[in-house]
Structure 1
Amino acid sequence: MTGGGAIPLIHASGDPFAVGHAHGRALAGPLRAFLDDSLCRLNKVMQEPVSLDGLLPSIAAYRASVTAAVPALADEVGGLAAGAGIGLDEAWLLQLRREIMGYRKVPTGGDCTTYARNGAGGPVLAQTVDLNGDLDDYLSVLRVARTDLPGRRSLVLSFGGLLGYLGLNSDGLAVGLNLVLGGDWRPGVPPYLAIRHLLDSAGGVTEALEILRGLPLASSRTLVLCDRERVVHVEILGEELRVVEGRVAVHTNHFLHPDFVPDDEINVFARNSSVRRLKAADAGLAALPPGAGAEEHFGLLSQSPICVPDRGNIRAERTVAAVVMLPDAGELHVRPGDPSLSGTQVFSL
């Protein structure tokens, strides 16, 4: 699919349960269809089949960890279930889908290329979203205004009922991510939910880093954070974090910090792809003028090898969206599907 249709925008406000309820009510039909499609397509991309009953112990363990660490998001999952008319365990499964997939040491063509910079022209964070499962048909944007967090609003890119994936908030914080592979994946706060928690709770990069250090994170990732003052990437491996700061951050899918490189579980084929995309993004960003607009950034994100084409294999990662975030303007620019084939949709706080 090219995913070129209009992306649903969901206005969600109130307390956490009400925010989840609005999200679930708006997408009740699609979420039911997603769950019924080979258990949110898990059984189309995993080597061994899974069932909801078989996953219940894992779901319970993750749910307990999230509830202890970020109870507001647990309440929001409850609201999502009620609004969509799905079971509570099903609503949690939507949040845990990537954790259940785990990581496979198999060749891959891509898994997100992310960069950020600030300075002249203002801050920008841009990335491709490379996923398997053909998920561009379940793309949505949440505009969140929680009444228990007065004055802070967020725009969140979501897939298939996720409370969080990437986004920006009204304080000028933007957060993107990359998959990196290493360490033990275990019950904890999934990085997608951690990103949503940062957007709900942090006024900028400095506060986000303090919050992140206090979360029991479930799995390895790199987060890229920027505001008008700071640009960092944070590599997560087990219980350890490494923060690298500069005016520019560029990251793909292999560890860059020397402390973590020996523990990288990426296979050689995927690493070669990751290195190629890193070099292309680094060079392409350096060539863009400081005041480059969103469309110029999409021009870079649409180029090979940064944009990963559809090879007709649902198990293979491909670019299912590209995003340019302008935190100062409070704007989230999205091209669904292959960004070289789709137009830009703009969402504003």
Structure 2
Amino acid sequence: MTIPSVVLTGGPYERGLRHGRARAGALHDFLDDGLARLDRILPRPVDRDELEPLLDRYAAAITEALPELAEEIRGLADGAGLRHRDAVLLQVRRELLGYSKVPAMGDCTTYAMAGPAPVLAQTVDLNGDLDDQITVLNTGRSLLLSFGGLLGYLGLNSGGLAVGLNLVLGGQWGPGVPPYLAIRHVLDTCDNVGDAGKQLAALPLASSRCFMLCDREQAGYAEVLGDRVRFRAMAQPVHTNHYLDPEFVAHDELNVFARNSSLRRLEACRAALAALPAGAGAEEHLDLLARAPITVAGDGDIRRERTVAAVVALPERGELHVRPGNPARSSTEVFTLR
């Protein structure tokens, strides 16, 4: 497959308008497919009457915390010919899914390295068969991987910062800033790990995540549980889907099947990194991510997470290297911020 790329220029509304116009057909098809496939994943179809006031609460929280991105969401809706609530739904779709009740085998493996040539690498494991929703967004300031109308997911910026993420489950989820929009905001406003960590801690996040961060000087991860954020700096951090902070471990809600997978992937990734030669290039990192159990193959069940992409971000070079779908079977596409 060839990944669509959209250049977003102008003010917030204009960026959204360009995004919506470029992806209008795909977004309508996605929403028409069981409400962005939510009905195909959840135990029962979404109650549309209950959903609309909830989406309004999310929209209000986003507007209060991140008014420019709220305006971009309005542009996205107008450009694609969607209702505003539908554009908001695309931003908070993961929050609407909530905690997974289906035993899972994967949900992202992420690592980073600081230094003169920093690297952030990760698999993207999602349910919903979202390979067909991958898009790369280029704002001139930030280069982002996106799915199905999201304004952000993971990426890098011209300041030399890269941000990735893992799902972790804990605390209460509800109306607030979705972590994907938080990453977009951080990449739009911060040039280093320290400032990014402060911005993440200041936002009213809607759900728990672990954010992987790196620049030339520092790498580390920030785990989020409710309104608490714990940042740990490391030369070569690795994270999967269970909490590592001792204070957060007792609050981990990951089911036992997913936890076993998370532990296996963490150990496998650490071992593979230890054997990786110094100065390895993007293809060597992608080959590492493509190995089992780090890459999680699908079993045909749309409800289960599987690897839908592998990504290597090189922030000093402004490059995003992406293998869509199963990275053991796909070719690399390279996107450049310049």
Verify: 1:313 aligned to 2:313, yes or no.
no
How many residues align structurally? Answer: 337
Q: Secondary structure at the match of 2:229?
A: strand
Quick one: which of 94, 113, 118 aligns to 2:90? 94
Give the one of 160, 179, 190 matched to 1:172: 160
Does 1:267 find its partner at 2:251?
no
Whether contact under 8 Å (2:102, 2:304) holds in the other structure is no
Regions of 4+ moved over 4 Å: none
Distance 2:180 2:271 in 1: 28
How far did 1:182 drift? 0.6
Instruction: Work out which of the residue numbers 29, 47, 62 in structure 1 matches 2:58.
Output: 62
Instruction: Give the superposition deviation at 1:287.
Output: 1.2
| Residue matched to 1:39 | 35
Taking the TM superposition and a 5 Å limit, the aligned residue runs for 1:47-58 are 47-58=43-54
Output the CA distance in 2 between the equivalents of 1:9 and 1:335: 14
Could you say if the C-alpha distance between residues 132 and 344 of structure 1 is closer, same or farther in structure 2, counting changes exceeding 3 Å? same
Q: Give 2:136's aligned residue.
A: 141
Structure 2 counterpart of 1:65, one-letter code: A
Q: Which runs of 5+ in 2 are unaligned?
A: none
RMSD across aligned C-alpha pairs, in angstroms? 0.9
The answer as to whether partners of 1:106 and 1:270 remain within 8 angstroms in 2 is no
- Cα deviations across residues 139-162 of structure 1 (Å, max 9, x unaligned)? 1000013xxxxxxx1101000000
TM-score in terms of structure 2 length: 0.98
SS class of match (1:277): helix
Unmatched tracts of structure 1, length 5 or more: 146-152
Length-normalised TM-score, structure 1: 0.95
**Distance in 1 between residues matched to 2:278 and 2:64, nearest whole Å:** 43
Q: Report the residue type matching 1:233 in the other structure.
A: Y
Q: How does 1:106-145 map to 2 (within 5 A)?
A: 106-119=102-115, 122-145=117-140
User: 2:159 is aligned with what amino acid?
Assistant: D
2:206 aligned with 1:214, yes or no?
no
Q: Within 1, Cα distance between the matches of 2:150 and 2:49?
A: 21
Give 1:241 deviation, angstroms: 0.5
Please state whether the residue corresponding to 1:14 is helix, strand or coil. coil
Say which SS state the counterpart of residue 277 (structure 2) adopts.
coil
* 1:30-75 residue CA offsets vs partner (Å, 9 max, x unmatched): 0000010000000000012104433111101111111000000000
- Counterpart-to-counterpart distance in 1, 2:58 and 2:84: 13
Mapped partners of 2:128, 2:332: distance in 1: 22
Match of 2:312 in 1: 324
Q: Say whether residues 1:348 and 2:303 are aligned partners.
A: no
| Equivalent residue for 1:293, pick from 281, 285, 291 | 281
- 1:187 aligned partner: 175
Contact 2:102 2:303 in 1 (8 A): no
- Alignment match, 1:244: 232
Q: Following the alignment from structure 1 to structure 2, what is the Cα–Cα distance between the partners of residues 226 and 257? A: 19
1:162 and 2:157 aligned? no
2-structure distance, mates of 1:105, 1:26: 35
- 1:291-349 Cα shifts (integer Å, max 9, x gaps): 10011011110000000001111001000000000111110000000000100000001
Task: Tell me, yes or no, if structure 1 residue 339 matches structure 2 residue 327.
Answer: yes
Where does residue 83 of structure 1 map in the other structure?
79
Cα distance between partner residues in 2 of 1:71 and 1:114: 30
CA contact (8 A) 2:230 2:245 kept: yes
1:148 alignment partner in structure 2: none
AA matched with 1:54: E
State the alpha-carbon separation in 2 of the partners of residues 52 and 32 from structure 1: 17
Displacement of 1:105:
4.1
The separation in 2 between residues aligned to 1:48 and 1:184, in whole angstroms, is: 21
Does structure 2 conserve the Cα–Cα contact (< 8 Å) formed by 1:116 and 1:249? yes
SS of residue in 2 equivalent to 1:130: strand
Identity across the alignment (%)? 61
